[in-house]
Structure 1
Amino acid sequence: MTEKLIYGIQQIGIGVENADETFKWYAKTLGADALIFDDSNEATYMAKYMGDKARKKRALLALNMQGGGGYEIWQYTNRKPSKPKNEFRIGDLGIHFPVIKTKNILATFNRLKGANENILSEIVVDPDDKKSFYLKDPFDNILKVKEFSSFYADKKNDFGGVFSAVIGVSNIDESLDLYAKVLGYDTVIYDKTNFFEDLTSLNNGNKKFRRILLAHSKKRTGGFANLFGESQIELIQAIENAPNKIFENRFWGDLGYIHLCFDIKNIQQLSKECSAIKVPFQVISGESFDMGDANGHWGYIEDFDGTLIEFIETNKVPLIKKLGININLRNRNPKKPLPNWMIKAMNLKRVKNFK
Structure 2
Amino acid sequence: MTGYSINGIQQVGIGVENATEAWKWYRKAFGMNVPIFEDRAEAKLMTRYTSGKVHSRHAILAMNMQGGGGFEIWQYESKKPQKADFELDFRNLGILAVKIRCRQIEDCFNHLKKIGSEILTEPCKDPLGVSHFFIKDPFGNTFELRENSSWFSQSEALTGGVCGVTIGTSSIDQSLSLYQNLLQHPHQLLDQTGSWEDLPTQKLDSASFRRVFLQNNQSPTGAFGKLLCQNQIELLEYQGDKGVPVFENRDWGDLGFIHVCFDVNQMDELKSKSQNMNMAFTVDSQNNFDMGEAAGRFSYLEDPDGTLIEFVETYRVPIFKKLGLYFKLKENQKPLPNIMVKALGLNRVKD
Which TM-score band applies after superposition, normalised by the shorter structure? over 0.9
Structure 1 segment 1-355 matched on structure 2, within 5 A: 2-201=2-201, 203-204=203-204, 206-217=206-217, 219-330=219-330, 333-334=332-333, 336-353=334-351
Quickly say closer, same or farther: Cα 1:330–1:205, change in 2 above 3 A: farther
Structure-2 separation of matches of 1:247 and 1:61: 22
Structure 2 letter corresponding to 1:304: P
TM-score, normalization: structure 2? 0.97
Structure 2 letter corresponding to 1:264: V
How far apart are residue 205 of structure 1 and its match? 6.9
Please tell me whether the aligned partners of residues 267 and 313 of structure 2 are also in contact (alpha carbons under 8 angstroms).
Answer: yes
C-alpha RMSD over aligned residues: 1.4
Please tell me whether the aligned partners of residues 99 and 144 of structure 1 are also in contact (alpha carbons under 8 angstroms).
Answer: yes
Matched residue count: 351
Structure-2 separation of matches of 1:205 and 1:290: 48
SS of residue in 1 equivalent to 2:175: helix
Structure-1 separation of matches of 2:70 and 2:307: 19
SS of residue in 2 equivalent to 1:170: coil
Please tell me whether the aligned partners of residues 150 and 230 of structure 2 are also in contact (alpha carbons under 8 angstroms).
Answer: yes
Identity %: 44
Structure-2 separation of matches of 1:111 and 1:94: 28
Please tell me whether the aligned partners of residues 50 and 252 of structure 2 are also in contact (alpha carbons under 8 angstroms).
Answer: yes
Structure 2: gaps spanning 5 or more residues: none
State the Cα deviation string for residues 7-49 of structure 1 (Å, max 9, x = none). 1000000000000000000011110010111010110000110
Structure-2 separation of matches of 1:206 and 1:200: 11
How far apart are residue 123 of structure 1 and its match? 0.8
Structure 2 letter corresponding to 1:105: I
SS of residue in 1 equivalent to 2:204: coil
Structure-2 separation of matches of 1:101 and 1:123: 14
Please tell me whether the aligned partners of residues 90 and 202 of structure 1 are also in contact (alpha carbons under 8 angstroms).
Answer: no
How far apart are residue 341 of structure 1 and its match? 1.2
How far apart are residue 152 of structure 1 and its match? 0.5
How far apart are residue 206 of structure 1 and its match? 2.8
Structure 1: gaps spanning 5 or more residues: none
SS of residue in 2 equivalent to 1:40: strand
How far apart are residue 201 of structure 1 and its match? 4.7
Structure-2 separation of matches of 1:275 and 1:85: 34
Structure-2 separation of matches of 1:143 and 1:347: 24
How far apart are residue 278 of structure 1 and its match? 1.4
Please tell me whether the aligned partners of residues 29 and 115 of structure 2 are also in contact (alpha carbons under 8 angstroms).
Answer: no
Structure-2 separation of matches of 1:244 and 1:146: 27
Structure-2 separation of matches of 1:347 and 1:205: 46
SS of residue in 1 equivalent to 2:43: coil
